[in-house]
Amino acid sequence: SQQGEEDPQALSIQEGENATMNCSYKTSINNLQWYRQNSGRGLVHLILIRSNEREKHSGRLRVTLDTSKKSSSLLITASRAADTASYFCAPGGGNTPLVFGKGTRLSVIA
């Protein structure tokens, strides 16, 4: 298993602004997943991008994947206070379980 490393560790923005967080990993993957965790709750799956995809959208979320740089980014457009949470990336490949890094803590200020 490999763990993604999210950057920045913390991000604070105003409501309505866009939030971008990044994920780097070390070895080749089959896919990469992003999860959100509200304080004290379980993780919620947001989006899965496969290694042959470069960009994927879901509502206000846009995920990019650059396999040559071994990195991914998650963009949340027009952020809302309800987007305040921790965000985790999880590189996936082979028959190994998903592992998580420390995440990015996003604070959206109303």
Partner 1 sequence: DAGVTQSPTHLIKTRGQQVTLRCSPKSGHDTVSWYQQALGQGPQFIFQYYEEEERQRGNFPDRFSGHQFPNYSSELNVNALLLGDSALYLCASSPTGTNSPLHFGNGTRLTVT
Residues engaged in binding partner 1 (CB under 8 A):
1, 3, 30-31, 33, 35, 40-45, 48, 88, 92-103
Torsions phi, psi of 66, nearest 5?
Answer: -120, 100
> Residue 88 CB, nearest distance to partner 1 (Å)?
6
- Which residue shows structure tokens 């990993």? 25
d(CA 89, CA 60) in angstroms, rounded, equals 17
Residue among 49 and 76 whose Cβ is closer to partner 1: 49
Residue among 18 and 30 whose Cβ is closer to partner 1: 30
> Residue 16 CB, nearest distance to partner 1 (Å)?
28
Q: Which residues contact 41 (CB under 8 A, 6 or more apart)?
A: none
> Residue 109 CB, nearest distance to partner 1 (Å)?
21
d(CA 26, CA 76) in angstroms, rounded, equals 24
Residue among 14 and 95 whose Cβ is closer to partner 1: 95
> Residue 46 CB, nearest distance to partner 1 (Å)?
9
Q: Which two tokens stand for residue 94?
A: 């082979």
d(CA 16, CA 20) in angstroms, rounded, equals 13
Residue among 12 and 30 whose Cβ is closer to partner 1: 30
